[in-house]
Amino acid sequence: MGVVKQLPAKSYANVMEVLVSEEVERQLSQQQPRVLKYIKRSEVETFALNRLPALYASSEKGWKFQYEKASRQMYRQVADAVRQAIAAVLVDPIRTSQPLPVSMGGKESDVMLSQLRKALHQPQLTWKEVVRRLQQSGAAETEADMNAHSHRRPGTYGDGSWQPKRRPVQSPVQNASRSDFDWDDARYR
């Protein structure tokens, strides 16, 4: 197998990954502890994700829309895919697989979340929980607060206001040569 390339940072995300992760968490919490030691969460998630459509979003509004839509319309499909994934992983509990290497700087957000978990002594902390707590404490601005001062009115900033483009003045010689041009000229046949 070849070397795995590090992916660049992206400004979009697959909402389905979060839905599958939440469903895997829910279903694994219902499993027996002796069964859990044979289940690799990453294998269950990838198995399920490979059987579900991707739902990408590049904005918070798009994220919320995709998340709510998929939660309502695809809940059964996600639950079935995760159930099948758990069954598939359990079929061969002694198989060995080498997980993809995780580079140290690959996901800065994961590194930051792990640092927050250590600092707050909460190993189960998620980004969703961090945002919720910050909003409750008033430390995080809401989307409305951030957009309140982000508008700009054209023509009110700086010295240069909009002016129509000036047309160059043509000399009579230029006008004469312009009238000589014709698409019916023999040179264009």
Q: Is 51 helix (H, G, I), strand (E, B) or coil?
A: coil
Mean pLDDT within 137-159: 57
Average pLDDT value over all residues in the chain? 76
What is the pLDDT, as a whole number, of residue 104? Answer: 45
Give the model confidence (pLDDT) of 67-118 as tens digits: 999 999 999 999 999 999 998 888 765 566 666 665 544 467 777 888 888 8
> Which range is least confidently modeled, 40-44, 67-71, 106-110, 134-138?
106-110
Distance between CA 99 and CA 1 in Å, rounded? 12
Q: Which residue has the higher pLDDT, 106 or 10?
A: 10
Confidence of residue 33 (pLDDT cuts 50, 70, 90): confident
When mean pLDDT is compared over 62-66, 80-84, 142-146, 165-169, the highest value belongs to: 80-84
Cβ atoms < 10 Å from Cβ of 101: 9
Whole-structure pTM value: 0.49
Residue 12 DSSP symbol = -
Distance between CA 182 and CA 186 in Å, rounded? 9
Distance between CA 69 and CA 59 in Å, rounded? 15
Q: Report which of 27, 25, 77, 73 is spatially closest to residue 52, judged by C-alpha positions.
A: 77
Distance between CA 68 and CA 54 in Å, rounded? 14
What is the pLDDT, as a whole number, of residue 183? Answer: 72
Mean pLDDT within 154-178: 58
What is the pLDDT, as a whole number, of residue 127? Answer: 82
Distance between CA 131 and CA 133 in Å, rounded? 5
Question: Dihedrals φ, ψ of 58, to 5°?
Answer: -120, 5
> Which range is least confidently modeled, 48-52, 66-70, 132-136, 143-147?
143-147
Position of tokens 């054209």? Answer: 154
Kindly write down the DSSP assignment for every residue of 102-169, as one continuous string: PPTTS-HHHHHHHHHHHHHT-TT--HHHHHHHHHHHT-SPPHHHHHHT----TTSSSS----PPPPPP
What is the pLDDT, as a whole number, of residue 111? Answer: 77
